[in-house]
Amino acid sequence: MADAFLKPARISDAEWQARVQLAACYHIFAHLGWAELIYNHISLRVPGPDDHFLINPFGLHYTEVTASNLVKVDVDGNIIGNDDWPINPAGFTFHGAIHATLPDAHCVMHVHTTPTMAVCCLKDGLSFTNFYAAQLYGQVAYHEFEGITVHRDEGARILASAGGKRVLLLRNHGPVVIGNSLAQAFNIMWLVQRACEIQVASQALGELQPISEAALQACVRDSLNFNPRHGAGEDSFAAMQRLIDRIDPGYRA
């Protein structure tokens, strides 16, 4: 499958591999119904010594993103090299701040799915009362709503609000996930999505059943989604990438 699409000579092997993986992730998001017209963003650090990362071209649907049309930018949002597409200003307002400050923040994801936004709009936020949410216990922080995230100075405040947590719920807005790798970030975002789906469904039925502190701690300890020693979700991301390869391998171009 990979041999059908040639790597441009100007791009290193390591960067091309990152581009292919990120393009696949955009298509996975679209397949899961996580796309938002041409908006929202996933950014991935470019391997190597330069402080650069890849992000989607502003104006394309997630299904139109390919390895070659991903835009390379620095942490200030300056496009590196020539590119036919701009980037969404909201894409580097906080993505740039996170990548620039946290050395292990290799991937940053942001979505506006209905269940995650609904939970972000709740005063009490995420309730640790279901199987998926329990695995996020102690991993969630909040940032107060300031409006559309296009103002550069908010990036530093978003970073401060995260406080080292992997999941940041932007109140009245949507979740941000920070991962050591793309696969880890994807699996954490999947947990966030499922946790919010179950919370929205169960809250409509009545009072939620609490989970004990001991059980919550055990869920965090036993969850493999955060643990690099167990692949940090590489296997499940690879399975989703194979699914996209069967549907539309053109993302590799």
The domain ranges of the chain are 2-252
Please report the pLDDT score of residue 207 as a whole number.
Answer: 95
193: helix, strand or coil: helix
CA dihedral of 216, 218, 221, 223, whole degrees rounded to 10:
-80
Read off the pTM. 0.94
pLDDT in tens, 121-138: 999 999 999 999 999 999
Give the list of residues 6+ apart from residue 148 with CB closer than 8 angstroms, or none: 90
Cα separation, 118 vs 131, whole angstroms = 19
Task: Tell me whether strands 140-143 and 167-170 are parallel, antiparallel or unpaired.
Answer: parallel
Kindly state the average pLDDT of the residues 32-54. Answer: 95
Give the list of residues 6+ apart from residue 194 with CB closer than 8 angstroms, or none: 132
Instruction: Give the percent of the chain with pLDDT over 70.
Output: 96
Please report the pLDDT score of residue 3 as a whole number.
Answer: 55
Residue type, 131: F
Please report the pLDDT score of residue 113 as a whole number.
Answer: 98
Fold of 2-252: L-fuculose-1-phosphate Aldolase (3.40.225)
Which range (29-43, 71-85, 126-140, 196-210) has the least confidence?
Answer: 71-85
Other Cβ atoms closer than 10 A to 49? 6
Q: Which ranges of the chain does DSSP label H, i.e. alpha helix?
A: 13-32, 89-93, 95-101, 114-120, 131-134, 152-162, 182-203, 213-222, 234-247
CA dihedral of 39, 44, 49, 52, whole degrees rounded to 10:
0
pLDDT in tens, 99-110: 989 989 999 999
